Structure 1
């Protein structure tokens, strides 16, 4: 197994044994392309983000994680949704099986330059027409779908 394996609506998924609040950013450039990173641990393309640390807000977490993972400075501009589906679990090589808990924010770039971190093999803005041609986990596809629907009420699920 790679460093992590995502299970979504899979009856063979292991039972969750932890939960950790995490956040991610949906950052769009002037062309409408979405900032994504190719995860080193799974090979999937994903939105940048990570787990909240003690002493920070979720928004601070997302700003910090995007900087660490992409080299870009961002500003939060809104809320895409809250994703807490207990049928999405992530199994890690160390035995942790984490239930999904993610708050995804809309954001824009304010500075910095794209760099690849140790957590990814590529970072770039991806044209939405390419989403069907690259490996993206179903739960990230759900977020991309919510983004494509436009700026209605945030998803709460």
Structure 2
């Protein structure tokens, strides 16, 4: 459950960001800058993060405020004994915990294009998308730590078609894990529920996509 302080801070920040985009005069701009400052201070009180870090993150956001889009590439296989395996990468910025390769979608990229790029960068694998499995609200499905912005998470099944040079230094080398013996996961990125649910989609490609 998202804490109230985080919900209110996000709403204040979104109102300030949108207001600054359309402010018609200095009076309106000053008012929305005050709202942005209040949102940052509220976020600091709840999260314990440094005020300069929070203000910097808020200042980078421009235009009408909307949720961010996180994409994840889900790759499975069946071993010689008929048991399922999942490919994960270790998230070095989260203590080496494991996750589906992925990250935020970039401007001028479709979600599936972003997913293909992220898998190439983080796992060194060339893939093609075979299915959109789910669109989830991060706060409702696995997110465990406060994040200043609202996030939608898109999970795609991927089929490996080749290899390439891994370029993302924030993740370690990919590794296959048995579905019933997962490593410690980076839950804000990939939860055990996500791994199991995507495996159901892998086993049954005709399943309809999930959504929040």
**Structure with more relative contact order (C-alpha pairs < 8 Å, separation 6 or more):** 1
Q: TM-score, normalised by structure 2?
A: 0.58
1:61 matched to 2:120: no
Moved runs in structure 1, 4+ residues, more than 6 A?
A: none
Q: State how far apart, in whole Å, the 2-side matches of 1:52 and 1:120 are.
A: 17
Q: State how far apart, in whole Å, the 2-side matches of 1:67 and 1:109 are.
A: 10
Q: Secondary structure at the match of 2:134?
A: strand
For 1:84-114, what per-residue CA distance to the aligned partner results, in whole angstroms no more than 9, with x for missing partners?
Answer: 24444755xxxx6132311100011000058
1:22 maps to which of 48, 51, 70: 70
RMSD: 2.7
1:117 matched to 2:165: no
Q: In the comparison of the two structures, how many residue pairs are matched?
A: 144
Q: Could you list the runs of 5+ residues in structure 1 that have no partner in the other structure?
A: 1-8
Q: State how far apart, in whole Å, the 1-side matches of 2:181 and 2:5 are.
A: 29
Report the alpha carbon displacement of residue 123 of structure 1 after superposing the two structures with TM: 1.8
Q: TM-score, normalised by structure 1?
A: 0.76
Greater C-alpha radius of gyration: 2
Report the alpha carbon displacement of residue 148 of structure 1 after superposing the two structures with TM: 3.3
Q: State how far apart, in whole Å, the 1-side matches of 2:126 and 2:145 are.
A: 28
Say which structure is richer in helix. Answer: 2
